[in-house]
């Protein structure tokens, strides 16, 4: 079955860095675009970034552009999010999700999330 | 401030029906398909509706989706206490600066 497992979250001081990982199994990873989506405590979902299946095209929300870098290793079935210059407002649970398309985009599979806490 | 606008909360009694609206614009809902997600407390979101009105396997037909113009609607009939959760709409946005957007979420309370 499809599984996505995030890791790498934790507590970090403002200005610091973290690298999140998402290990996937149960599908051909290299066939799918992948996304990072976050949820601040008590808040709604926010798309952060996505990457095409080959890793050559990346897209970012304005709130993280220039600070976060999404990447993937198809040989390792893994997705990454390098987060630099972290701010308090980046505190959130970060989910990786598989991009699915039929007529439109949707997210059928999500990881369990990993919590990132940024303190000042 | 979310690009897609949802009511913060809705409520209804068990067995009744409820609708949750999601309002956008021509750059998102007006020209794209909508998906809906259910998030139980402490859990990851779960896909309920894709392509505006299609249900994945395993999602009961008590859940339905529709769209008119720049607004989408999630409908739930035969409410159960287990439906108490947060619900989010999502779609693609064609504007230059925003690619994928979510609604702010709606808390459903089953009284």
Of A46, A102, A103, the CB nearest to B102: A46
C-alpha to C-alpha distance for A13 and A11, rounded to whole angstroms: 7
pLDDT digits (tens, 9 = 90+) for B38-65: 999 999 999 999 999 999 999 999 999 9
Burial class (CB in 10 A: 0-12, 13-18, 19+), A115: middle
CB contact under 8 A, A107 and B37: yes
C-alpha to C-alpha distance for B7 and B104, rounded to whole angstroms: 8
Mean pLDDT of A63-73: 97
pLDDT digits (tens, 9 = 90+) for A10-23: 999 999 999 999 99
- Residues of A with Cβ-Cβ distance to B104 under 8 angstroms: 44
pLDDT digits (tens, 9 = 90+) for A27-39: 999 999 999 999 9
pLDDT category of residue A120 using cuts at 50, 70 and 90: confident
Structure-derived torsion over alpha carbons of residues B84, B88, B89, B93, reported in degrees to the nearest 10: 180
- Residues of A with Cβ-Cβ distance to B45 under 8 angstroms: 45, 95, 107, 110
CA distance A16 to chain B (A): 26
On whether any CB of chain A is under 8 Å from the CB of B56, the answer is yes
Mean pLDDT of A45-54: 96
Asked whether the predicted pLDDT for residue B97 surpasses 70, the reply is no
Report strand pairing: A34-39 vs A18-25: unpaired
pLDDT digits (tens, 9 = 90+) for B65-90: 999 999 999 999 999 999 999 999 99
* Three-class SS state of A18: strand
pLDDT digits (tens, 9 = 90+) for A78-95: 999 999 999 999 999 999
């Amino acid at each position: 079955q499809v599984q996505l497992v995030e890791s790498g979250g934790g507590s970090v001081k403002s200005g610091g860095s973290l690298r999140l990982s998402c290990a996937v199994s149960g599908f051909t990873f290299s066939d799918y675009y992948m996304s990072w989506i976050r949820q601040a405590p008590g808040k709604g979902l926010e798309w952060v970034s996505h990457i095409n299946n080959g890793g050559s095209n990346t897209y970012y929300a304005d709130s993280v552009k220039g600070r976060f870098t999404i990447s993937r290793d198809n040989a390792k079935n893994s997705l990454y999010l390098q987060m630099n210059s972290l701010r308090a407002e980046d505190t959130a649970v970060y989910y990786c999700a598989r991009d699915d398309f039929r007529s439109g985009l949707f997210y059928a599979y999500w990881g369990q999330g990993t919590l990132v806490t940024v303190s000042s | 401030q979310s690009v897609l606008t949802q009511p913060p909360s809705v409520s209804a009694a068990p067995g009744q029906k409820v609708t949750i609206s999601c309002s956008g614009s021509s750059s998102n809902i007006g020209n794209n398909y909508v998906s809906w997600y259910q998030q139980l407390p402490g859990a990851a979101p779960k896909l309920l509706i894709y392509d505006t009105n299609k249900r994945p396997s395993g999602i009961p037909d008590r859940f339905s989706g529709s769209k008119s113009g720049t607004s989408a609607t999630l409908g739930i009939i035969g409410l159960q206490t287990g439906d108490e959760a947060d619900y989010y709409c999502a779609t693609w946005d064609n504007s230059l600066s925003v690619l994928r957007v979510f609604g702010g979420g709606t808390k459903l309370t089953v009284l």
